[in-house]
Copies of this chain bind each other. A is one copy, B any other.
Amino acid sequence: MALHDDLRTIALAEFAASGYAATSLQRIADLAGTSKASVLYHFASKELLLADIVSPALDDMERLIETLEHAGGLRRSDFVEQFVDLLLLHREVVPLVINQGATLDDVPVMHRATEIMRRVAELFRLASGSTMEKLRFGVAFGGVAYTLAAAERLGLSGEIPIDEVRSALLLILHDLLVPAESAAH
């Protein structure tokens, strides 16, 4: 069971860093100190390995969405806080979905990810919103995802404590999303 988890961890890191297509099963096997055939013993295929990695995050996100959909009126500020917590909890998976979702939408699990993001957008009733509102949504969530993904690559990260990141992201998202709820801008 140890190797099984190691493979998940290693594959996630490699998929996020180098891309799904560019990461071969052989490389994952090498990093884990095993053979390619062994990887395919634990995960029936490369796509199922990806699904195994991404699905838990999608499950959590779907659960949050459904809770809010059945809660009648949606308070954006509530959603934002829980949403940020989920993003931080699965912060390694987020860039994988964001950056490579479009490329991999023929892979079922990534198609599901795209569908979930669409539902988040609908939750904010963005289809009927103004251009300004649509763009605020895009900048907010795209921006958060990108920041989680690429800040380190640009040398902007250092070792920022995660609580600090959390509160800063909450402020930024709140500024971008919540004002549009009540106040006419």
Query: For the complex, what is the distance from the CA of A150 to the CA of B110, rounded to whole Å?
Result: 14
Judge whether A139 and B131 touch: CB under 8 Å: no
**How many monomers of this chain does the complex have?**
2
Q: Which of A30-38, A45-53, A58-66, A169-177 contacts B (4 or more CB under 8 A)?
A: A169-177
B contact residues around A89 at 8 Å (CB) = none
Query: For the complex, what is the distance from the CA of A22 to the CA of B86, rounded to whole Å?
Result: 30
Judge whether A138 and B151 touch: CB under 8 Å: yes
Interface size class on chain A is 35 or more
- Using A100-B103, A139-B169 as known contacts, list a sample of 18 further A-B pairs with CB atoms less than 8 Å apart, ordered by residue number in A: A17-B102, A18-B103, A99-B103, A102-B149, A102-B150, A118-B155, A134-B151, A134-B157, A135-B169, A138-B143, A139-B143, A139-B146, A139-B172, A139-B176, A142-B142, A142-B150, A175-B175, A176-B176
Within the complex, the shortest CB–CB distance from A159 to chain B, in Å, comes to: 11
List A residues at the B interface (Cβ < 8 Å): 17-19, 21-22, 98-104, 114, 117-118, 121, 126-127, 131-132, 134-147, 149-151, 153-157, 160, 164-165, 168-169, 171-172, 175-176
